[in-house]
A and B are shown apart, each in its own frame.
Chain A
Amino acid sequence: MTQQKYDAIIIGAGIIGNSIAYELALKGCKTLSIDKLGGSGFGSTAGSCAIIRLYYSSPEGVALAREGYYYWLDWPRYLKLIDPAGMAYYKNTGAMVYKSEHNKNLVPVMESLDALGVGYLELTPEDMKRYLPNPDLHSFHPQKRMDDPDFGQPTGDSVNGAVYVPESGYVSDPKLSTHNVEMAARKLGSDFMFKTQVVDILKKDGRAAGVALKDGTEIFAPVVVNVAGPHSYLINRMAGLEDTMNIKTRALRVEVAHVPSPEGVDWENTGVITSDSDTGVYTRPEVGNHVLIGSEEPACDPLDYVDPDNYNENFTDQLKTQAMRVAMRIPDLPIPTKEQGLVDLYDVSDDWYPIYDKSDLPGFYMAIGTSGNQYKNAPPVGSFMSELILYCEGGNDHDKTPMQYRMKYINHTLNIGFFSRNREINKDSSFSVIG
């Protein structure tokens, strides 16, 4: 009989995978993280805008984001370590979220913020001018593609106003933050294997029993966790679980534009995060006095689901479309001819909410379908996933009696059954990166 060296194997060393490894290690488990790429956070974590914001379409989403925020504020103490490679840090900028029909004028978000005692300002369109350089606050909804002759033509006199949440910002370096967690986990005895590809999930006696690697090696452990990001559906397929879940995941190709700030504006130091559901884009200030621009998946834009191992890594018109949507709002925004930005993947679930759950294969767990909106939640997700694993391995039936997670920083209990693989599609979702 093979001696079991590891208590758990974690497939994927992104921010969430590493957080699960660290939290399991804190609970005394010996973990092995395996990643196909060369280091922690080299996959879709590296492409994350790492925005720490509180607006989600569900109260559960808002509460989890609020809990995550405290971990980022408390980063070195949470990890109990100073990484020689440097520590990622949280930079506060504030976030301004536009009210629109699409987000029910943020009424549910404000209710959730009130319930958690989070401060915010409700802004009239006139108030919004304080947060943006020389803005055009006409309404442009519904969004259009650039080749539409009405692209950029106002459709209404004014946007509906906004909600400004001062306690919002971003993490300086998502890849470094993932390395920080790796170092913290290693200090507790966790192992990491990079440039290593899992090709099969081993089973024994109706349970997950480990993984097989591309070079033929088999590694055994009673617990296997799929945190493979955009490759999550492929790992589920290896485990024979793809068709056993109500909610599915797929790899979605997305582009993020990177443009300079308007002339004379120090956006790096004075800019806020914006989420503009009227034009369908979000922005974040970036070092070098730039603006990062992502898409909120407006209905007119096709969703580009791809093979995560073979997709177009070049920019398309989508990048410029996103930049132009911000430029409608900020007419002084320069649009360079030579586009800059990045192309990366989201692991999107059917309702853009994650799956944090066990599976139909005992011993096999999933933290997948993060849909581009879970970076901020990684530390508390690591915490409750580790508790969920111990809960299920302890003989509890999470499907029948979902685990209730007592948050650490805020006085709130989260029903982890909310993230079930077998939930009905959450119709309150924004069906976008907003979650």
Chain B
Amino acid sequence: MQIYVCIKHVPDSAANISIIGKNSIDENVNFLLNPYDEHALTEAARIKNNLPGTEVIAVCLGKADAEKTLRSALAMGADRGILIAKEKNYDSRVTALALKAAIEHDGKPGLIFTGKESIDEGGMQTMFRIGALFDFPVATNVVKLDIEADRAVVVCELSGGITHTYEMSLPCVMGTGRGLNTPRYPTFPDVVKSKKKPVQKIAFTDLNIKASLAGMRVIELKPLYQARQPKEIKGDATVVAKELIRILKQEAKVL
């Protein structure tokens, strides 16, 4: 089986990111693998371990320096990579068309993974668009996955922690969530091996994606300034502890 993992090269959320003009960011910061995609790669590597003969291919639509992120994916277990080299940023409609064209050109997908969202744009559309283009079923925020002979049994987490279990025909598309696994970080030998793994580069323009009037673009980005609003709980230890439990249960809803 061939497993395609669609990955994205995103700015590090720990970086100081500044907005240029009104609608783009200063890309002169550290970029890395979208964290949700780490779960996709870890899961693909796990399936490969259980199903001999499986090949894991990481696919990325990105600018030239996205090769670094593709190498990270190879260090996490992908066998080879495909970089669709772009000069500018595209919306999720064009992204899905490009990923579909590259995958279709490359092989026969048995499974396609994406992260459930990207941490930079958070559009949460790409997996559905790829599924629609291929006519494959799609599940998102997947937190458990079992591949059986010709089907996948998946558990998806909905808001509030509710889960749904689905049976899906193969091939299918999965948007992976945080609960799926703990990413296995590469070690030095993994990184060395990743440098020797093949990365095929395709120019976005060679995919002949037809122009369309449909599309969306960012008009304005606004930074979010979060002010901390500390509140002191007064009283003796018993009172403070009781109030803290009440807040954790009723306001934060974490207990």
Contact = CB atoms under 8 A, between A and B. Distances in A.
Nearest to B186: A335
A154 to B, nearest CB: 12
Contacts of A334: 184-187
A327 B188 contact: yes
Contacts of A10: none
Given A337-B32, A337-B33, A315 B15 contact: yes
A337 B16 CA distance: 18
Contact of B188 (A314, A328, A338, A340): A328
Contacts of B185: 260, 334-337
A340 B185 CA distance: 13
B72 interface: yes
A339 B32 contact: yes
B131 to A, nearest CB: 26
Interface residues of B, number: 22
Nearest to A333: B187
Interface string B18-57: 0000000000011011010010000000000000000000
Contacts of B14: 315, 338-340
Nearest to A325: B188
Q: Which of B12, B30, B183, B188 has the most CB of A within 10 A?
A: B188
A308 interface: no
Nearest to A326: B188
Contacts of B183: 337
A359 B12 CA distance: 45
A313 B12 contact: no
B154 interface: no
A335 B33 contact: no
A147 to B, nearest CB: 10
Given A313-B16, A338-B12, A338-B35, A333 B30 contact: no
Contact of A327 (B35, B184, B191): B191
Contacts of A262: 187
A60 interface: no
B172 to A, nearest CB: 26
B76 interface: yes
B247 interface: no
A324 B194 CA distance: 14
Interface string B179-197: 0000111111101100000
A331 B30 contact: no
B187 A337 contact: no
Nearest to A331: B188
A340 B191 CA distance: 18
B32 A338 contact: yes
Contacts of A260: 185
Interface string B182-222: 01111111011000000000000000000000000000000
Contacts of A315: 12, 14-15, 30
Contacts of B33: 337
A393 B16 CA distance: 47
Instruction: Name the interface size band of chain A.
Output: 20 to 34
A228 B72 CA distance: 41
State the main secondary structure of chain B at its contact with A. loop
Contacts of A333: 187-188
Q: Which of B15, B32, B76, B185 has the most CB of A within 10 A?
A: B185
B186 A314 contact: no
A315 to B, nearest CB: 5
A169 to B, nearest CB: 27
B30 A335 contact: no
Interface in A305-355: 313-316, 324, 327-328, 330-340
Contact of B191 (A313, A330, A335, A338): A335
Nearest to B13: A338
A337 B29 contact: no
B187 A314 contact: no
A41 interface: no
Given A152-B192, A314-B30, A339 B187 contact: no
A152 B189 CA distance: 9
A324 B191 contact: yes
Contacts of B187: 262, 327, 331-335
A337 B15 CA distance: 14
A44 to B, nearest CB: 19
A67 to B, nearest CB: 39
Interface in B77-131: none
Contact of A314 (B12, B72, B75, B76): B12
Contacts of B184: 334
Contacts of A313: 16
Contacts of A338: 12, 14, 32, 35
Interface in A94-113: none
A339 B16 contact: no
A333 B184 CA distance: 11
B15 A314 contact: yes
Nearest to B192: A152
B188 A337 contact: no
Contacts of B12: 314-315, 338-339
B230 to A, nearest CB: 16
Nearest to B185: A334
Interface in A10-24: none
B32 to A, nearest CB: 5
Nearest to B189: A331
Interface of A: 152, 260, 262, 313-316, 324, 327-328, 330-340
Interface of B: 12, 14-16, 29-30, 32-33, 35, 38, 72, 75-76, 183-189, 191-192
5 nearest A-B residue pairs (beta carbon) = A334-B185, A327-B188, A314-B15, A337-B33, A336-B185
26 contacts: A152-B188, A152-B192, A314-B16, A314-B29, A314-B30, A315-B15, A315-B30, A324-B191, A327-B187, A327-B188, A327-B191, A328-B188, A331-B188, A333-B187, A333-B188, A334-B185, A335-B75, A335-B187, A335-B188, A336-B185, A337-B33, A337-B72, A337-B183, A338-B35, A339-B30, A339-B32
Given A315-B14, A335-B185, A338-B14, 14 more contacts: A152-B191, A314-B12, A314-B29, A315-B15, A315-B30, A316-B30, A331-B187, A331-B188, A337-B32, A337-B76, A337-B183, A338-B32, A339-B14, A339-B30
